[in-house]
């Protein structure tokens, strides 16, 4: 599926959260920073998740929360959270019969990528900043883990500050 453009709505979805509860996008009252990552407890994914962890209070001060999405199961998410003391939700994006994570495929985070000169299909690291009405406020495509959370927070701060003026 194609990426969702800024100003368009993300299709509503409900997924299992790391604690076994259901998490529904349309039920979120603040801004959701949905970061899509390939796999729990790998170097890049740990860097990204820990950065969002460290910026959680800053996001909260702007009425936002970071939420991770990957195809890992709830048990993997719980271990990842415990090991790295993560203070954010991680959603279980189960794969369909083709092997694609259902929501990642719907929002353009599943597709062709290259690693060490080889092309393959897989999860594409990206982030959507989503308003409570599910409108995409910002989109960060094919991101590098290091420094990404900081760029998201700074972009969101600038955007919110410019709307106050």
List, by residue number, the catalytic residues: 45
Kindly provide the b/e burial profile for residues 104-132, where b requires at least 16 CB atoms within 10 angstroms of the residue's own CB. Answer: bbbbbbbbeeeeeeeeeebbbbbbbbbee
Tell me the backbone φ, ψ of residue 104, rounded to 5 degrees: -55, -40
Question: What gap in Å lies between CA 143 and CA 23, rounded to an integer?
Answer: 25
Look at residues 132, 123, 157, 158 and name the one whose alpha carbon lies nearest to residue 35. Answer: 123
């Amino acid at each position: 599926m194609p990426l969702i453009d800024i100003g368009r709505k993300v299709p509503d979805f409900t997924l299992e959260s790391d604690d076994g509860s259901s998490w529904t996008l349309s039920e979120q009252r603040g801004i959701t920073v949905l970061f899509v990552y390939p796999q729990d407890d790998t170097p890049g994914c740990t860097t990204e998740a820990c950065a969002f962890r460290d910026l959680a209070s800053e996001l909260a001060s702007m009425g936002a929360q970071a939420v991770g999405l990957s195809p890992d199961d709830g048990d993997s998410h719980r271990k990842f959270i415990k090991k790295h003391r993560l203070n954010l939700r991680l959603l279980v994006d189960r794969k369909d019969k083709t092997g694609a994570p259902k929501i990642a495929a719907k929002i353009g985070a599943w597709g062709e990528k290259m690693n060490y000169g080889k092309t393959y299909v897989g999860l594409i690291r990206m982030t959507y900043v989503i308003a409570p009405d599910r409108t995409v406020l910002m989109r960060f495509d094919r991101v590098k883990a290091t420094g990404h959370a900081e760029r998201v927070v700074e972009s969101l701060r600038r955007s919110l500050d410019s709307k106050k003026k």
